[in-house]
Amino acid sequence: MTVTVSMTLNGKKVSADVEERTLLVSLLRDHLRQTGTHVGCDTSQCGACVVHVNDRSVKSCTMLASQVDGADVLTIEGLAKNGELHPMQEAFRDNHGLQCGFCTPGMVMSALDLVANNPDPSEREVREWLEGNLCRCTGYHNIVKSILAGAKAMRKGG
């Protein structure tokens, strides 16, 4: 059976008809061709798929598409404005917080949720917050640095 899912995606109203069992990540990637959100596992562990639903970070591989009907969804594609990186994205670039870039969208989206709730996190808090995000390239060292720098830039930016 198909269902119609309507939502606001990165500020735009969109809708799609999908099979009932479709996951949110598949709605984004396969149906709406927003491929910035990645899939790295099948057990909800890697965090490559993190997006925001109604301002909270979720693993989009763990939600049904139908659950976001009527919701406000933000993905990595929605962060930069007019070609200008969001301060958190800029911090990742400036601190070499990414190598292959595959975990990066999830890392950035996850970091933004942390900072929304804890604008001035400690290094330990960042490391613990990233429990649900795996990276094989960076050893997390520069990801942690990036998130701390991004949080700082966001505090300055008001």
Partner 1 sequence: MSATGIGAAVRRKEDYRFLTGNGRYLDDISLPNQSYAYFVRSPHAHATFTVGIEKAENAPGVIAVFTGADIVKAGLGGLICGWVITGKNGEPHKAPPHPLLAVDTVRHVGDPLAVVIAESYAQAKDAAETVEVDYQPKAAVTSPTAALDNSAPQVHADAPGNLCYDWEIGDKSATDAMFNKAHHVTKLELINNRLIPNAIEPRSAIGDYNSGTDEITLYTTSQNPHVARLVISAFVQLTPEHKLRVVAPDIGGGFGSKIFIYSEETVAAWAARELKRPVKWTAERSESFMTDAHGRDHVTHAELALDKSGKFLGMKVSTVANLGAYLSTFATCVPTYLYATLMQGQYTTEAIYCEVKAVFTHTTPVDALRGAGRPEATYVVERLVEQAAREMKMDASDLRKINFIPADAFPYQTQVALQYDSGNYAGSMDQALKLIDYKGFSKRKEQSKAEGKLRGVGFSAYIEACGIAPSAVVGSLGAGVGLYESAEIRFNPTGNVTVFTGSHSHGQGHETTFAQLVSDKLGVPFDNIDVVHGDTARIPFAMGTYGSRSLAVGGSAISKAIDKVIAKGRKIAAHTLEAAEEDIEFKDGNFTVKGTDRTMDIGAVAFAAYVPHNYPSDELEPGLDESAFYDPANFTFPAGTHACEVEVDPDTGVVDIVKWVAADDFGNIVNPMIVEGQVHGGVAHGIGQALLEGCQYAPDSGQLLTGSFMDYGMPRADVFPDIEVATQVTPCPHNPLGVKGCGEAGAIAAPAALVNAITDAIGASNITMPATPEKVWRALNAAG
The mark string for 103-142 relative to ligand FES (x by CB under 6 A, - otherwise) is: xx------------------------------xxxx----
Provide the minimum distance between the beta carbon of 45 and ligand FES in the complex, in angstroms, as a whole number: 6
Torsion of CA 125, 89, 70, 45, to 10 degrees: -50
Q: Which residues pair with 2 in a beta bridge?
A: 19
146: contact with ligand FES by CB under 6 A? no
Provide the minimum distance between the beta carbon of 79 and partner 1 in the complex, in angstroms, as a whole number: 7
How far apart CA 2 and CA 17 sit, in angstroms, is 6
DSSP string of 38-84, one letter each residue: ----SSS-S-TTEEEETTEEEETTSSBGGGGTT-EEE-GGGT-BTTB
Residue 142 contact, options ligand FES, partner 1, none, Cβ 5-8 Å cut-off depending on partner type: partner 1
- For ligand FES, the closer of residues 42 and 82 by Cβ is 42
| Amino acid symbol at 66 | S
CA angle, 36 then 124 then 51, to 5°: 20
Enumerate binding residues for partner 1 (CB under 8 A): 19, 21, 29-30, 33-43, 45-46, 48, 75-77, 79-80, 85, 89, 92-94, 96, 98-105, 108, 124, 126-128, 130-131, 133-144
